[in-house]
Chain A
Amino acid sequence: METVNTSTGVLGERSPSQTLKKLGLWLGENFLYLIIIVIFVAPLVWMVLGSLREEKEIFANLYPFTIHTFLPIQWTLDTYLDMFGISEIGIMYGLHFHRFMANSLFVSVAVVSCSLVFNTMGAYFFARLDFPFKNFLLIFVVATMLIPFQATIVPLYIVVSKLGMRDSFWGLIIPWFASPFVIFALAQFIKEIPKELDEAATIDGASLWGILWNVILPNAIPGIITMALLEFQFIWNLFYWPLIVINSPDLQMIQVAIANQTTQTQIFWGRTFAGSTLASLPVIIVFLALQKWYIQGVATTGLKG
């Protein structure tokens, strides 16, 4: 619609064939957009809608392909009651998904909190402070970005076991309390804060901590929130690390729980849909709500990190 409106007017008169061509272009473009949207969103819509219906209904409507392959005929929350162990079936199978969600939430919030404190300090150091071996330290930190995490997870596991943090929340939280990516992105944000502000504070006798707390922090809030979002998503979606570090079923995080649940009982599609929705929807909703900051964060860590 907009493309048509903005392009008329400047040249005034326009022949009908040109208008037709514009219209065709507009239709073509929006048709393409529609196809792209369907390809990228359909699997997730299928998942969410599939969790809101009886399991029988999912199987009954897969063939032939109709609108009800996606859209429930009878809407119900039964599968969620199963997953939370509220319904009879849920109790029978000993399901307690709220436990795994709480674990993931706790670990994610803990990591985000620690990481914000330590990474902001590190970012302040690189952006503003004076130190003899700063360039060496910079290389030391940058180089960690090149270490492939999943490929070196076996030795990381050896180290964490030696420290006695296996099978505990410590083992899930402590290794992640600092991140080179977050330090660099935040350092970029801090560099954009006018230096005069901290110089004025220094003259007023503020300490480095005082400047960080009273001058830098209030001005870096957008950057800090962006990084908190990215970090939360990273930890909430963590799979390989909790898979090997946690043995006790009660301490497990949600991604591992849903994967185990599915591989053991592949036939229960309704519950799989519900579990997958619970494991992914919180992050998707946060993303859609705070999209602008989120994308800005990805672009900053990507380009400047």
Chain B
Amino acid sequence: MTTVPISSTDQSSSFLAKLWSPRNRYYFIAFLFILPALINFSIFRYLPIFAAARASLWQYSLLGGYRDFIGLQHYQFMMEDIYFWKSMKVTALFVLMKVPIQVLLSLMFAVLLQKETRSSAVVRSAIFTPVVTSVVVVSIIWAMMYHSQLGLINSVLSAFGIPRQVFLSDADRALPAMTAMMIWKDLGFSMIIIMAGLKGIPVVYREAAIVDGAKPWQIMRYITLPLLQRVLMFVVVTQTIFSFQNFVPVYVMTKGGPMDSTKVIVYYIYQYGFLFQDMGYASAMSVVTLLVLLVVSMIQMRLFRTDVEY
């Protein structure tokens, strides 16, 4: 700000007075504005990471506190823990099924519904309604819909003459069923962001292409998609981070079953930390999950990097 007064006349000032100069006084007051947020982030976002790193090196439980220093033994154990690897695999499978389908569908819906007509506005609100509904409620209702005896989905299928299907209690179908539900829930969120991205593309590019005789798919391929790359990157990275931490549906619908086919990593950490009371090992797994997510986001950002400016 240009209005900060600068004192240069006061020659006799001691060190203390200099420290309390009008400029520094301004900085001090300015700092007070951001201080509460900094305190919050230090204690509740950064400190936990250090606490996790520390707890992962000890035998640690909430009731017993710190016991023996065991170094990297938790990490060693993790490498040999087949359930840890299984849960990482389930998590990766969930993300790899959910994110591409969701992004593709939301891109399609965003293009389909970007018209400013009343009917498309109604469809947009319909798609967005599950986004504001809590995951818990969505999971509960879908668990009832997937119910093998009384579920709504089986009821609808029966109207088409299809026999009753088993969804959540089948080890091969439980994860895809959960994925379908989460795509249904999160689709509106990514659609809205992509739509805002579409609006941000200057119309002149598209108009110029139409004048040059470009077909709709050509416009999509050579103009819209490249200019949307940054928005798509944002959606892919954030959706990967969100989906990687999937927990509530597993807790509500399957408790990780059947046969661990839906036991994602965050649920496995929850089991160790709060059901088996082993905070040390749970912390070690949290640290590894954090690192995996950081690396994955880094790679994605690199892959999607673009120099296109508009």
Question: Chain A: residues with CB nearer than 8 A to chain B?
Answer: 2-3, 30, 32-33, 36-37, 39-44, 46-47, 59, 62-65, 69, 118-119, 121-122, 124-126, 128-132, 137, 140-141, 144, 146-161, 163, 174-175, 177-178, 180, 183, 199, 202-203, 207-208, 212, 233, 236-237, 239-240, 243-244, 255-256, 258-259, 262-263, 269, 272, 276, 279-280, 283-284, 287-288, 291, 294-295, 298-299, 302-303
Number of interface residues of B (CB under 8 A): 95
Show 30 residue pairs from A and B whose CB-CB distance is below 8 angstroms, ordered by the A residue: A2-B119, A37-B122, A37-B126, A41-B129, A43-B142, A46-B141, A63-B158, A65-B158, A69-B155, A126-B34, A137-B34, A146-B297, A148-B245, A149-B245, A150-B245, A151-B244, A154-B279, A156-B44, A157-B273, A158-B48, A178-B36, A178-B40, A208-B29, A236-B134, A239-B248, A259-B251, A284-B133, A298-B189, A298-B193, A303-B231
Q: In the bound complex, how far is the Cα of B127 from the Cα of A295, in angstroms?
A: 12
Question: Chain B: residues with CB nearer than 8 A to chain A?
Answer: 1, 3-4, 26-27, 29-31, 33-34, 36-38, 40-41, 43-49, 51-52, 55, 62, 109, 112, 117-120, 122-138, 140-142, 144-145, 150, 152, 155-156, 158-159, 184, 188-189, 192-193, 195-197, 200, 231, 234-235, 238, 241, 244-245, 247-248, 251-252, 265-266, 269-270, 273-274, 279, 282-283, 286, 289-290, 293-294, 297
Chain A residues, CB < 8 A from B62: 158, 161
B117:A151 contact, CB within 8 angstroms: no
Q: In the bound complex, how far is the Cα of B34 from the Cα of A124, in angstroms?
A: 9
Chain A residues, CB < 8 A from B231: 303
A239:B44 contact, CB within 8 angstroms: no
Chain B residues, CB < 8 A from A36: 109, 123, 126-127
Chain A residues, CB < 8 A from B294: 146
With contacts A40-B188, A130-B4, A155-B283 known, what are 14 further pairs, Cβ within 8 A?
A30-B119, A36-B109, A43-B130, A147-B290, A152-B286, A153-B270, A154-B269, A208-B33, A244-B270, A259-B140, A279-B136, A280-B134, A299-B196, A302-B238
B155:A62 contact, CB within 8 angstroms: yes
B140:A65 contact, CB within 8 angstroms: no
Q: In the bound complex, how far is the Cα of B164 from the Cα of A269, in angstroms?
A: 20
Main secondary structure of the interface of B (DSSP, over half): helix
For B272, give the chain A residue with the smallest CB separation: A154
A40:B130 contact, CB within 8 angstroms: yes
Main secondary structure of the interface of A (DSSP, over half): helix
Contact A151/B55 with A44-B129, A69-B155, A119-B37 known, Cβ cut-off 8 Å: no
B128:A255 contact, CB within 8 angstroms: no
For A298, give the chain B residue with the smallest CB separation: B192
Q: In the bound complex, how far is the Cα of B292 from the Cα of A151, in angstroms?
A: 11
A279:B134 contact, CB within 8 angstroms: yes
Which among B41, B138, B193 is the interface contact of A144 at CB below 8 angstroms? B41
Chain A residues, CB < 8 A from B48: 152, 155-156, 158-159
Give the top 8 A-B pairs by smallest Cβ distance, nearest first.
A155-B52, A299-B196, A155-B48, A237-B134, A150-B245, A302-B193, A178-B40, A178-B37
Q: In the bound complex, how far is the Cα of B151 from the Cα of A63, in angstroms?
A: 10
Which among B140, B238, B282 is the interface contact of A276 at CB below 8 angstroms? B140
